[in-house]
Amino acid sequence: MAKWNKATFLTSAKDKCEPRVQTVILDLIRFAEKDADHVSWGRGEGYGTMTFKCKSDDYGIIPLFHITTNGQIKFQLNYLRQKVRGKEILRDYQLKLES
């Protein structure tokens, strides 16, 4: 069972992050709740995570990014390199992140 949920995640982020970062975190959570096929909450002790996952016809459910209660956003590029065989998909994803 997940240790983190939306309420505990936001409470922890408010304690650890500046107000502008808190706003971005809240916007990303709302975006995930609206557009993700699945949102998962972490089980870690040191900090919380929320992972944005989407369904793919070819690869199943894949995580695209996760955010932490420390105010970090991490893109799952290395995981996608292992899971997704289409190099053009990864190249497009990386180019969009860089722009």
pLDDT for 55 equals 92
pLDDT for 35 equals 95
What tokens were used for 39?
């949102």
Within 8 A by CB and 6+ apart from 72, the residues are none
CB atoms closer than 10 angstroms to residue 73: 12
Q: Which amino acid is at 44?
A: G
Task: List average pLDDT for each run of 10 residues in the chain, which is 99 residues long.
Answer: 87 96 97 96 93 90 94 89 80 83
- Give me the DSSP letters along 7-75: HHHHHHHHHHS-HHHHHHHHHHHHHHHHH-SEEEE---SSS-EEEEEEEETTTEEEEEEEEETTS-EEE
**Domain ranges for the chain:** 6-98
pLDDT for 87 equals 79
pLDDT for 2 equals 62
